[in-house]
Amino acid sequence: MNPTQAPVPVRSEPSTAPAAPPTALGERVRSLRLSAEVRNQQANTCVLPWLLAFVMAVTAATFAALYYGQAGRAAAAPEASPLPDGRSSSDSRAQAAVRPSAPAAVSDRGSIALESKGYIIPRRQILVSPQVNGRLLQVLFEEGQRVEQGQVLAEIETTDYLADHERALAALASAQQHLQELEAGNRPEEIAQAEAELAEARALLPQAEAEWKRNDELRASRTISQLQYEQSEATYLSLKKRVDRLQAAVALMQKGPRQERIEAARADVRQAEADAVRTKWRLDNCTVRAPISGTILKKNAEQGNIVNPIAFNGSFSLCDMADLSDLEVELFIQERDISRVFVGQRCKVRAESYPERAYDGVVSRLMPIADRAKGALPVRVKLTVPEDEQGVYLKPEMGAVVTFLGRPEG
Q: Do the Cβ atoms of 390 and 325 come closer than 8 Å?
A: yes
Q: Rounded distance, CA 222 to CA 283, Å?
A: 85
**pLDDT, tens only, 60-83:** 777 767 766 655 554 444 444 444
Reported confidence tier of residue 56, pLDDT bands at 50, 70, 90: confident
Give the predicted TM-score (pTM) of the model. 0.56
Reported confidence tier of residue 313, pLDDT bands at 50, 70, 90: low
Q: Rounded distance, CA 401 to CA 356, Å?
A: 12
Instruction: Give residue 39's pLDDT.
Output: 55
Reported confidence tier of residue 383, pLDDT bands at 50, 70, 90: very high
Strand partners, 366: 379
Q: For residues 257, 260, 263 and 267, what is the CA-based torsion angle, rounded to 10 degrees?
A: -120
**pLDDT, tens only, 16-53:** 444 444 455 656 655 555 555 545 555 555 566 677 77
User: What is the DSSP pairing of strand 306-307 with strand 134-139?
Assistant: antiparallel
Instruction: Give residue 162's pLDDT.
Output: 96
Residue of 111 and 50 predicted with greater confidence: 111
User: What does the pLDDT average to over 118-134?
Assistant: 92
Strand partners, 119: 330, 399
For the chain, the average pLDDT equals: 80
CA 8 vs CA 1, 4, 11: distances in Å? 11, 12, 9
Q: Is the pLDDT of residue 311 over 80?
A: no
**pLDDT, tens only, 180-198:** 988 888 888 888 888 898 8
**Phi and psi dihedrals of 396, rounded to 5?**
-55, 145
Reported confidence tier of residue 88, pLDDT bands at 50, 70, 90: very low
Q: Do the Cβ atoms of 122 and 341 come closer than 8 Å?
A: no
Instruction: Give residue 82's pLDDT.
Output: 43
**pLDDT, tens only, 266-300:** 999 999 999 999 999 999 999 999 999 999 999 99
How open is the CA angle 56-58-61, to the nearest 5 degrees?
A: 110
Q: Which of 370, 374, 360, 353 is nearest to 329 (CA)?
A: 360
Q: For residues 40, 42, 48 and 49, what is the CA-based torsion angle, rounded to 10 degrees?
A: -160
**pLDDT, tens only, 336-347:** 999 999 999 999
Q: Rounded distance, CA 381 to CA 114, Å?
A: 13
**pLDDT, tens only, 206-264:** 988 888 888 888 887 778 888 888 898 899 899 899 998 998 888 888 888 888 999 99
Q: Is the pLDDT of residue 99 over 50?
A: no
Contact residues for 279 (Cβ-Cβ < 8 A; gap 6+): 161, 164, 165, 167, 168
User: What is the DSSP pairing of strand 319-322 with strand 294-299?
Assistant: antiparallel
Q: Rounded distance, CA 74 to CA 77, Å?
A: 5
